[in-house]
Structure 1
Amino acid sequence: MTNTTSPGAVESGSNREKALKDMYDGISQKNMFPFWATTDDVTNDEVRQLMATARAVPYVWSYKDDIEPLMRTSAELITMDDSERRSLVLVNPGLNPKRATVSTMYTAYRLNDADEIMPPHKHSPSAIRFGLTGAGNFTGVEGENVTFGPGDMVLTPNDAWHNHGTIGNKEAVNLSVLDLPLVETLNAIHFDHNYTEIEDGVEVKKKVQASRYPNDYSAAVYGQGGLLPRWVDHGRGGGLSSPQYVYRWDAMQALFDRFQDHDGDPHEALMIEYTDPTRGESVFKTITFFAQMLRPGEKTLPLRQTASLLVAPFKGSGYSIIDGERYDWNQFDTLAVPGGAWCEHHNGSDSEPVYLFVASDEPTLKKLSLYKRWGRTAQGDVVRYL
């Protein structure tokens, strides 16, 4: 009988299995990946391996039990001479050791001792600061010195010079949210600490930004919705974000009070987005922020979206159901809600409202046409909204 097998062909049985193993080993050693599914075996199910990337998981970080004690210890042991930054970054267990609280964003908490001011710096990730305690949180942004308190949100945009600290001889705590994991994935990270100003025609390195705007500039120019002065430069900081650098909680609270008897949205209750007053869009091109109110005893219907969320209870306590599992939270905690998870929130009080501060990567997903959204009705039916 004539042998029709080509010289390079591999016979069936044990020889073939060995040849397959050698091939897969060789592919791996050459830094490649085989995308064909030949078996549902754990080792060689290429589809399963391709999908088995690190994923964020739902998780709650406790402010009272974990974050605050560690911040206080760090304030005792790490001085501004040791490091200009003394923040606790929340790392999602599903993404560890990557510095990410969900896949595209991270939250960090910072306690500043009295009158601690760090030198200016800038970076490509966009960031905000949200006041938790103390009236003397300080952020200087592109020459606007902002002092802020609980519930106030301050922008530090992509490539805008800024510095942080406290004034008023009292400690203060704030949390920050950055899109650093997203920018890192895109290989677009850069930091700059070499802050200079021109004095008498000479470039001089400075540790403090000179004030170029009145301290109430954001409120004076952008504090009246629907009314935009034409004689000011709305492109400060490079025009890469909202030119309004501080959003005060008092204005947010007043809007909630005005609509507290409104039906709201069954999946989001009362939810207000922080926007760029010049365009009506999100404050950053990559991430956006909301304040959310759940009235006494209120709960939301389940919502699923491709956007990832970071939820920080600002006032009140309650719990969330994420993919069928309960996560209890209290004031100043942070809850990670991965994209694609079903989530509903419950106010744990029958007498007091809950206020949540929420960060989302929704703008990035919308620009990439990847944002989708589903809701479950009171009858249990799933409805596609976007």
Structure 2
Amino acid sequence: MSAQGKTGARLEGSNLQAALDQLHADVEKANMAGYWVVDRTVKNDEDRQVMDKRKAIPFSWKYKSEIEPLLYRSAELITTESSERRSLVLVNPGLAPKRATTTNMYVAYRLNDPREIMPPHRHSPNAIRLGLTGKQNFTGVEGENITFGPGDLVLTPHDTWHNHGNQGDDNAINLSVLDLPLAETMNCMYFEHDYTEEEEGIRVARKMQSERFPPTYSQMVYGHGGLLPRFVSHHRGAGAASPMYVYRYDMMREALERFRDWDGDPHEGIMIEYVDPTSGQPVFKTITFFMQMLRPGERTLPLKQSASLVISPFEGEGYSIVNDQKIEWNQFDTVAVPGASWCQHVNTSDRDPAILFVASDEPALKALAFYQKHGRNQNGDIVKLA
């Protein structure tokens, strides 16, 4: 009975518009949305319903001028007694007020004062810590007490008990990446803080985890590529992530340097992924991490992929071009590159390499068969890469 009244007469002009307005009002009141195109100037245009939702935008946060000063101010005013979570979350303006850096990833910076150790907790999101400053950052994960420094990557997988802090006498700053926005979308968020251990058959509340593995466990068991002990269990935590909980920067930096004179990839330079040593797959099923080397003066070709990226330069300086927007970066800044954005990187130094820490939600998109990757060749033609 499209565009007709109950009498069968077709509605036109103001009568049609009035009927449409009433229909749209009734649909909205019923907590529904009409998926149709009537007039591209009205809010019920189906294209606008899909495309005009709030989306992440290319954006950057400056470490020296913005992040670091705010970290020190927060450390002065907010004690560990008043809050265990003294972190600065990077909120993408395109997604605000939602606390998300890209659609599926959440980045935060934290400063730990000397000798400051937080009690254990666990949560549904997967998370990593990357050391930026301080040589004695601390994270305890499932009974493995890890001390880490600049460039070291520490995993705190989904559902693992862990705590953070600083065992040194100097301030320590680290960067975290979580798949928290994805967990929120999937409606599977939880945080738990009531840590207990069994003592003589009774569960007892504890403020620290007992050490169940030596501090060098991850390196001892998994630190030699191609060699995997058969006499230990590789099921740790929920068993859904890499059992290697710390990846040392000296190993990654050495690997990057070995390939420095290779051709590399024209769209990504020299890029090495952190993987689960038992499978060769990404450390998490949702997000993955890389270190990317741009040789002196290197300029990558434009790349577009459905995965979103979070990029934090660890060494060097340069700029990225994201959808024709030039974004300059320096050490410890963060750049958000939303999925489906054209992106290329430039190392502005003619002497030193630039090393970029990169996080991506590529595994989640691949699991759902949504992942695509395109690049431009030297002639500017678009080629499908994945």
TM-score bracket relative to the smaller structure: over 0.9
CA distance in 1, matches of 2:275, 2:36: 46
Q: Which residue of 2 aligns with 1:243?
A: 243
How far the C-alpha of 1:44 sits from its partner, in A, is 3.4
Q: Which amino acid aligns with 2:115?
A: D
Give the structure-1-normalised TM-score: 0.97
Inter-partner Cα distance in structure 2 for 1:39 and 1:343 = 35
Q: Following TM superposition, by how much is the alpha carbon of 1:385 offset from its aligned partner in structure 2, in angstroms?
A: 1.2
Q: Which secondary structure state, in structure 2, belongs to the residue aligned with residue 239 of structure 1?
A: coil
How much has 1:24 moved relative to structure 2? Answer: 0.8
In the other structure, the counterpart of 2:301 is: 301
Contact 1:136 1:171 in 2 (8 A): no
Secondary structure of 2:76's aligned partner: helix
How far apart, in 1, do the equivalents of 2:44 and 2:235 lie? 53
- RMSD after superposition: 1.2
1:1-386 pair list within 5 angstroms: 6-7=6-7, 11-386=11-386
| Mapped partners of 1:138, 1:44: distance in 2 | 52
Rounded to whole Å, the distance in 2 between the matches of 1:273 and 1:354 is: 16
Q: Match of 1:284, as an amino acid?
A: F
Q: Indicate conservation of the 8 Å contact 2:34/2:44, yes or no.
A: no
**5+ long unaligned stretches in structure 1:** none
Structure 1 residue 47 displacement after superposition: 2.0
CA deviations over 1:34-69 (Å, ceiling 9, x no partner)? 111122223332222232111100000000011000
Question: Hey, what's the Cα distance between the residues in 2 that align with 1:208 and 1:120?
Answer: 6
Task: Say whether the 8 Å CA contact 2:131–2:151 is kept in structure 1.
Answer: yes
Give distance in 2, aligned partners of 1:336 and 1:64: 17
- Counterpart CA distance in 2 for 1:156 and 1:44 is 44
SS of 2:375 mapped into structure 1: strand
Q: Secondary structure at the match of 2:218?
A: helix
Q: Give the 3 Å change call, closer, same or farther, for CA 256–6 of structure 1 in structure 2.
A: closer
Between the aligned partners of 2:368 and 2:77, the Cα distance in structure 1 is: 44
Question: Aligned equivalents of 1:154 and 1:6: distance in 2?
Answer: 67
Task: Please say if residues 10 and 19 of structure 1, whose CA atoms lie closer than 8 Å, have aligned partners that are also in contact.
Answer: no
Render the CA deviation track for 1:222-281: whole Å, top value 9, x for unaligned: 010000000011001121100000000000011111111111000000000000000000
Counterpart of 1:108 in 2: which secondary structure?
strand
Any conservation in 1 of the 2:36–2:44 contact (CA below 8 Å)?
no
Give unpaired runs (5+ residues) of structure 2.
none
Shift of 1:8: 6.9
CA distance in 2, matches of 1:373, 1:109: 30
| Residue correspondences, number | 383
Separation of aligned partners in 2, 1:40 and 1:126: 41
- Looking at structure 1, the residues matched to 238 and 283 of structure 2 have their Cα atoms a distance apart, in angstroms, of 14
Say if 1:316 and 1:354, in contact at 8 Å, map to a contact too. yes
What do residues 95-119 of structure 1 show as CA deviations (whole Å, max 9, x unaligned)? 0000100000011000000011000
**1:5 positional shift:** 6.8
Identity %: 60
| Distance in 2 of aligned mates of 1:348 and 1:93 | 28
Taking structure 2 as the reference length, what is the TM-score of the superposition?
0.97
AA aligned opposite 1:228: L
